[in-house]
């Protein structure tokens, strides 16, 4: 079996809480081993980067240590102040500064150069997310002909947003260096085709390749999943009695990185609308919102934090009573086992992104439920997860507070029989396409595409030889 060689910006080093990418890939790497390379800020460096190995995991880990200036321009700058907002449709938040694109491309080149010697001829290379889009092209320059796949965890941007990039043509060069570009949903594949048609004048070939300016892009959707059984087992066994939650309190839970794409102010306004209209009806409901800190030195993230603090104060000021707090807002990371237990304890999972590649929280909430008495998932239509979970979730428009408020009310009043039926349909969907399905189907398709490429290259060489003889 070939060795899996993974690149992503973040490595699982056990320090910060993991985001969705590290959680999902960690499952794959724990199970099948291989090599995982990431990037890391190193305050002690002045200029040159260095590659370090981190022992102590079931797989090999290496991190490219980068000096502060370069890391900031590449990571906080180009990746998170240009590509992230652009891929999430927030061109108003673009913060383009000189030197960032150069740092981004040069970190990608240095990553290729620093790790070239670690690669073996039959390794299968899997590169993750927007931080490393140019990496395959850089590896190809160094003569790497291994299968190379890419998976974008965010949404693929619309053509209107791609127009805001000053270096659009490079995106085409970067993507066409891959044997397979994996996207989360059909919506993203359609967006990519649209960009290829309208921005690069491309067309679909009969075998599914997209040809643009003589270069081919091979893309398909592979909705990322979770380890469903494992997550259910953690939720079942987690004891939440030590978390000081009133056993009588009806809970609605939100778990998100504090990111503007996650629609947190919209969630709070939706709940505020619910309280305005229905606070006198039935049981009192508390929204427990865990909002783990992320990218706090980027200005847009400081703004969203202030907005949320203000909204929490406003809602609690208006609706709190002795012994009742409407919004319990926790701006720090919470241990994973506690999160699983809290999902199970909550009657509603409220997931309201304005746009999201997938959203694993929605799947985790479903996995954590007691199938005999499950809670209800309220899910934004803009989450990639809605493509799969519309079979059982209450689907809302996060921009419309009445849509959120109406779904909360429907969820609270939903009869047991309907909850069980909805949960059953979602459970089937997330267990059919779990995280292992995601890895296997992606890697199978990658192997097939790489074989086709090699066959095409070989017949081209045969043809050239025949013509020249
Ligand atoms: C990207 C895409 C896509 C959150 N807070 C804490 C914590 N978490 C865990 C959750 C979940 C993960 O982080 C977040 O999942 P998302 O799906 O929202 O992921 P993003 O970080 O936005 O990442 C996203 C994902 O990649 C995978 O492809 O779904 O669309 O944006 O697992 O449980 N975990 C702990 N403490 C916290 O406070 N332990």
- pTM higher than 0.75: yes
Q: Is 447 annotated as catalytic?
A: no
Strands 210-212 and 215-217: antiparallel
Fold of 4-225+436-464: Rossmann fold (3.40.50)
**Nearest atom, ligand 1, residue 362 CA:** 17
Q: Give residue limits of the domains in the chain.
A: 4-225+436-464, 228-432
From 128, 131, 153, 266, the catalytic residue: 153
Q: 113 CA distance to ligand 1 centroid (A)? A: 30
The pair of structure tokens assigned to 7 is: 């690149």
Task: Name all residues whose Cβ lies below 6 A of ligand 1.
Answer: 17, 19-21, 23-24, 153-154, 224, 255, 257, 290, 292, 333-336, 339, 356-361, 364
Question: Could you give the 3-state DSSP secondary structure of residue 122?
Answer: coil
- Equal fold, 4-225+436-464 vs 228-432: yes
pLDDT 10s digits, 147-186: 999 999 999 999 999 999 988 889 999 999 999 999 999 9
Q: 23 CA distance to ligand 1 centroid (A)? A: 8
The pair of structure tokens assigned to 373 is: 């008495």
pLDDT tens string, the chain, 469 residues long: the values are: 789 999 999 998 876 556 778 888 888 898 889 999 999 999 998 888 899 999 988 899 999 999 999 999 999 999 999 999 999 999 999 888 889 999 999 999 999 999 999 999 999 999 999 999 999 999 999 999 999 999 999 999 999 999 999 888 899 999 999 999 999 999 999 999 999 999 999 999 988 899 998 899 999 999 999 999 999 999 999 888 878 888 889 999 999 999 999 999 999 999 999 999 998 888 899 999 999 987 877 777 888 889 999 999 999 999 999 999 999 999 999 999 999 999 999 999 999 999 999 999 999 999 999 999 999 999 999 999 999 999 999 999 999 999 999 999 999 999 999 999 999 999 999 999 999 999 999 999 999 999 999 998 889 888 888 988 8
Give 248's strand partners.
none
Kindly state which CATH superfamily the domain 228-432 is placed in: Glycogen Phosphorylase B; (3.40.50.2000)
Nearest to 135 by CA among 105, 163, 160, 161: 105
The pair of structure tokens assigned to 306 is: 């202030």
pLDDT 10s digits, 55-90: 988 899 999 999 999 999 999 999 999 999 999 999
Residue nearest to atom 13 of ligand 1 (CA): 19
Q: 21 CA distance to ligand 1 centroid (A)? A: 7
Task: Return d(Cα 424, Cα 366) in angstroms, integer.
Answer: 9
Q: What is the 3-state secondary structure (H, E, C) of 175-215?
A: HHCCCEEEECCHHHHHHHHHHHHHCCCCEECCCCCEEECCE
Q: Is 153 annotated as catalytic?
A: yes
Residue nearest to atom 4 of ligand 1 (CA): 256
């Amino acid at each position: 079996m070939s060795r899996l060689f993974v690149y992503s910006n973040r490595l699982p080093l056990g320090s910060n809480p993991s985001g969705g990418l590290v959680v999902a890939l960690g499952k794959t790497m724990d199970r099948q081993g291989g090599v995982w390379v990431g990037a890391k800020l190193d305050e002690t460096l002045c200029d040159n980067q260095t590659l370090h190995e981190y022992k102590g995991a079931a797989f090999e880990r290496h991190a490219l240590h980068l000096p502060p200036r370069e890391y900031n321009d590449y990571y906080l700058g180009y990746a998170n102040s240009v590509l992230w907002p652009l891929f999430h449709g927030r061109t108003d938040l673009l913060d383009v500064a000189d030197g960032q694109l150069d740092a981004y491309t040069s970190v990608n080149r240095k990553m290729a150069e620093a790790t070239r010697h670690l690669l073996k001829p039959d390794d299968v290379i899997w590169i993750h997310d927007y931080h490393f889009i140019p990496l395959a092209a850089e590896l190809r320059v160094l003569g790497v002909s291994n299968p190379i796949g890419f998976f974008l965890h965010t949404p693929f941007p619309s053509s209107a947003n791609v127009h805001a990039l000053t270096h659009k043509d490079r995106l085409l060069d970067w993507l066409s260096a891959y044997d397979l570009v994996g996207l989360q949903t059909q919506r993203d594949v359609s967006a990519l085709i649209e960009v290829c048609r309208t921005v690069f004048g491309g067309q679909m070939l009969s075998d599914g390749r997209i040809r643009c300016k003589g270069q081919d892009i091979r893309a398909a959707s592979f909705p990322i999943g979770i380890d469903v059984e494992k997550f259910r087992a953690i939720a079942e066994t987690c004891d939440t009695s030590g978390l000081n939650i009133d056993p009588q309190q009806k809970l609605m839970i939100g778990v998100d990185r504090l990111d503007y794409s996650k629609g947190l102010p919209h969630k709070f306004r939706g709940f505020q609308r619910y309280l305005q209209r229905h606070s006198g009806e039935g049981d009192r409901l508390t929204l427990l919102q865990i909002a783990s800190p992320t990218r706090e030195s980027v200005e847009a993230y400081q703004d969203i934090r202030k907005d949320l603090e203000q909204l929490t104060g406003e809602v609690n000021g208006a609706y709190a009573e002795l012994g009742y707090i409407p919004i319990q807002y926790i701006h720090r990371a919470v241990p994973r086992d506690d999160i699983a237990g809290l999902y199970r304890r909550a009657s509603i999972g409220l997931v309201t992104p304005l746009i999201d590649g997938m959203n694993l929280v929605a799947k985790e909430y479903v996995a954590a439920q007691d199938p005999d008495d499950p809670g209800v998932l309220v899910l934004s239509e803009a989450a990639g997860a809605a493509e799969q979970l519309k079979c059982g979730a209450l689907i809302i428009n996060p921009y419309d507070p009445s849509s959120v408020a109406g779904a909360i009310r429907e969820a609270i009043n939903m009869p047991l029989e309907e909850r069980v039926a909805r949960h059953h349909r979602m459970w089937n969907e997330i267990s059919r396409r779990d995280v292992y399905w995601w890895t296997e189907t992606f890697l199978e398709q990658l192997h097939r595409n790489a074989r086709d490429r090699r066959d095409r290259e070989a017949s081209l060489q045969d043809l050239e030889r025949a013509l020249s003889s």
